[in-house]
Amino acid sequence: MRFEKPVPVKWIAEFTEAELLGNALGNATGINEIHKVERGDIVFVDHPKYYATCINSAADFIIINKETVIPDGKALLVVNDPFEAYLKLVNHFRPFTPSMKTFSDTASIGHGTVVMPNTFIGNHVIIGDNCIIQPNVTIMDHCIIGNNVTIQPGTVIGSDAFYYNKKTNRDVHYKKMTSCGRVIIEDFVELGAGCTIDRGVSGDTIIGAGTKLDNMVHIGHDTTIGKNCLLAAQVGIAGATVIEDNVILWGQVGVSKTLTIGKGAVLYAQSGVPASLEGGKNYFGSPAVEAKEKMKELVWIKRIPELWKKISEKK
């Protein structure tokens, strides 16, 4: 998430009751979780395993629970519970203020755009020109819809990330990481009925221009779908994954988190993708492998009884 204007790290330190170490003169321009950090960002880390990754990431301001080496020009904000400090900042800069109108006063729509009945448009939503937003759609706060976009009935844009911090030592077992990111739907995208597109935890979930989703497709937080992709019905994609341009996912395909599917890949129906896949190829199976390999495998499986017979006949 970007701040509206830079915020002095000194103010951040006071607000989070942190001990400020290193460059105390900087200004933070945004806040992100580690998968999405940019220069000028605040990030948090609470486990020694990830200290190095966070301190050496693009982020300039690291909320941390232990004093450690500080790279030149960066600052540490040392607190007892970095996760809680992060949440406090997110809730301060992007508080959830539920709109009680079906069309928020702070939302805007472009020329020629039609919003049909029973649809909810949240705060600060921006919708471009010549869109058709059909009935019973929900577009939550801060989401951005391009031009010539069609959204079919019952679809939800900007639901919260499914992202929890495990708290084994507390009454609350899983504590939600507040989503402060957005969903960005580019031009000429068409979304089927009953889809759900989660907002980024801290960054953006993006559906690239010209991409078409069938019904009941689920897209996780911070995931980027490229341009001119086709996602058939009941496809599900987990968080922080990258689907490059011109990818085709047939019905009921499932894709795991934080991986990449290369440009032009085609996944046959019901495939499951646990790891990154190279572009330009066809895949099938759960776990998905190259389709031609899978087809051979299916033939080999059918030959097991023959194998058994052969070996039994051998002297």
- Rank residues 39 and 296 by Cβ distance to a copy of itself and give the closer one: 296
- 98: contact with a copy of itself by CB under 8 A: yes
- 182: contact with a copy of itself by CB under 8 A: no
Of the ranges 3-11, 29-37, 63-71, 270-278, which one interacts with a copy of itself (CB under 8 A)? 270-278
3-state secondary structure of 105: coil
- Rank residues 22 and 192 by Cβ distance to a copy of itself and give the closer one: 192
Which candidate, 210, 235, 218, places its Cα nearest to that of 150? 210
Q: What is the closest distance, in whole angstroms, from the C-beta atom of residue 253 to a copy of itself in the complex?
A: 9
Whether residue 221 lies in the annotated active site: yes
Question: Beta-carbon neighbour count of residue 59 at 10 Å?
Answer: 26
**Contact with a copy of itself (CB under 8 A): which of 72, 111, 169, 311?**
311
Tokens of 14: 């006071």
**Per-residue mark of binding to a copy of itself, 216-235 (x: CB under 8 A):** x-x-x------xx-x-xxx-
- Rank residues 4 and 117 by Cβ distance to a copy of itself and give the closer one: 117
**Separation between Cα atoms, residue 55 and residue 61, nearest integer Å:** 8
- Rank residues 13 and 217 by Cβ distance to a copy of itself and give the closer one: 217
**Separation between Cα atoms, residue 301 and residue 12, nearest integer Å:** 61
3-state secondary structure of 44: strand
Of the ranges 51-59, 67-75, 84-92, 133-141, which one interacts with a copy of itself (CB under 8 A)? 133-141
**Separation between Cα atoms, residue 61 and residue 29, nearest integer Å:** 10
Q: Which amino acid appears at position 133 of this protein?
A: I
